[in-house]
């Protein structure tokens, strides 16, 4: 399958590319689509979910709208559609990586139906919040408990 760029790809400023790649690639399951290690940059892909990681260099041309204070990404979480959350959870547990929120099955109203997903929350090394989510399908609104 040929690589296709997503139409919306967040670019996250990070502190340490090696540490971030360990988290995003080894633990979450992304792959490096391409990188520029000399610039501290990597473009990652997980079945069409894409993110760019860029090491923060105060002297570089980076578009900062305010001070970067940990945890980064406050006010946003990145939902990542995955076939199953269990393999990711197993890798995180084996690495001793803490969860921000334990796995749950959650149903959300979407028009005239509810769509379900098994999801959890985890922070990357810089504090960005990820929400891997696997579909549980849909059900009529009347099926709510």
pLDDT digits (tens, 9 = 90+) for 57-116: 777 766 766 777 888 888 899 999 999 999 999 999 999 999 999 999 999 999 999 999
91 within domain boundaries: yes
Q: Residue 40 class from Cβ within 10 Å (0-12 exposed, 13-18 middle, 19+ buried)?
A: buried
Number of domains in the chain: 1
pLDDT number for residue 74: 87
Whether 76 contacts 12, CB under 8 Å: no
CATH number for the domain harbouring residue 123: 3.10.180.10
User: pTM higher than 0.75 for the full model?
Assistant: yes
125 within domain boundaries: yes
36 within domain boundaries: yes
pLDDT number for residue 143: 54
pLDDT digits (tens, 9 = 90+) for 100-139: 999 999 999 999 999 999 999 999 999 999 999 999 999 9
């Amino acid at each position: 399958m040929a690589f296709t760029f997503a139409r919306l790809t967040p670019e996250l400023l990070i502190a340490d590319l090696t540490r971030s790649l360990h988290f995003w690639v080894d633990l979450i399951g992304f792959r490096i689509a391409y990188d520029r290690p000399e610039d501290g940059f990597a473009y990652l892909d997980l079945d069409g979910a894409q993110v760019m990681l860029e090491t923060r260099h105060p002297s570089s041309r980076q578009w900062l709208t305010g001070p970067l204070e940990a945890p980064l990404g406050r006010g946003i979480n990145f939902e990542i559609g995955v076939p199953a959350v269990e393999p990711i959870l197993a890798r995180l547990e084996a690495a001793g990586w803490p969860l921000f929120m334990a796995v749950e099955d959650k149903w959300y109203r979407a028009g005239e139906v509810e769509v379900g997903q098994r999801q959890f929350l985890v922070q990357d090394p810089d504090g960005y919040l990820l929400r891997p989510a696997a579909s549980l399908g849909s059900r009529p609104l009347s099926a709510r408990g």
